[in-house]
């Protein structure tokens, strides 16, 4: 409880004192405030989730909004999905913002007893803002999952490797360079556990 209070206090103490400035001092305060919010949200308290939702709703800059959304997603808070929808609706015409939106979802951890993250990633392949011909979107969604979400990519059911195989096959004719980048998710397959090695080798041979 004392640790929860510490993160809550830090989040409050680091609240912005004036208008947004892209200065080093303010950037550092925002980063530290977002970190405090992330740890506080991971405690699972409704108060923390409400604070994250409020920061998302009221912030005047992308750093604070993204930090709040990341905290809600990491904690699997009930406010996470509405915030995701709002973010995509309001920033649909901002390519860099949508790159972050895809990346945050591709790299999130699975909720206890929740569906594998890959199911969400596959749904996002059909999102209007996503295109296999857009390297930034591919890096954010497919690369984010294969290279940045190790726990979900290396699930022992082999679904992550199957997805990797499918995506390499589709990307290679379109953009061999980015296909090669994502292919490197299997660079260290011999370092995996024996069951994963067997799945990885079968995938690579195909």
Closest CA to 133 of 88, 179, 90: 179
Determine the Cα–Cα distance for residues 53 and 39; give it in Å rounded to an integer: 15
Q: Residue 160 to residues 84, 102, 121, 154, 202: CA-CA distances in angstroms?
A: 24, 17, 11, 6, 13
| C-alpha torsion sign, points 127, 129, 135, 141 | negative
Residues 6+ apart with CB under 8 A from 97: 62, 87, 91
Residues 6+ apart with CB under 8 A from 50: 79
**How does pLDDT run along the chain (206 residues), one tens digit per residue?**
687 889 888 999 988 888 888 899 999 999 999 999 999 999 999 999 999 999 999 998 999 999 999 999 999 999 999 999 999 999 999 999 999 999 999 999 998 888 999 999 999 999 999 999 999 999 999 999 999 999 999 999 999 999 999 999 999 999 999 999 999 999 999 999 999 999 999 999 99
Determine the Cα–Cα distance for residues 53 and 41; give it in Å rounded to an integer: 10
Q: CB of 160 within 8 A of CB of 153?
A: yes
Residues 6+ apart with CB under 8 A from 35: none
């Amino acid at each position: 409880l004392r640790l929860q209070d510490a993160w809550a206090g830090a989040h409050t103490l680091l609240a912005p004192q004036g208008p947004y400035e892209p200065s080093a001092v303010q950037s550092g305060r925002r980063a530290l405030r977002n970190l405090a919010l992330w740890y506080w949200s991971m405690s699972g308290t409704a108060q923390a989730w409400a604070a994250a939702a409020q920061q998302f709703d009221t912030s005047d800059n992308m750093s604070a909004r993204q930090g709040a959304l990341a905290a809600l997603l990491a904690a699997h808070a009930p406010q996470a999905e509405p915030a995701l929808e709002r973010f995509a609706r309001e920033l649909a015409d901002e390519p860099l913002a949508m790159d972050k939106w895809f990346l945050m979802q591709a790299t999130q951890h699975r909720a206890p007893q929740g569906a594998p993250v890959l199911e969400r990633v596959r749904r996002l392949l059909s999102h209007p803002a996503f295109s296999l011909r857009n390297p930034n979107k591919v890096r954010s969604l497919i690369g984010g999952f294969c290279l940045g979400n190790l726990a979900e990519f290396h699930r022992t059911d082999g679904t992550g490797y199957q997805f990797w195989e499918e995506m390499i096959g589709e990307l290679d004719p379109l953009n061999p360079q980015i296909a090669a980048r994502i292919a490197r998710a299997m660079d260290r397959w011999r370092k995996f556990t024996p069951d994963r090695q067997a799945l990885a080798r079968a995938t690579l041979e195909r």
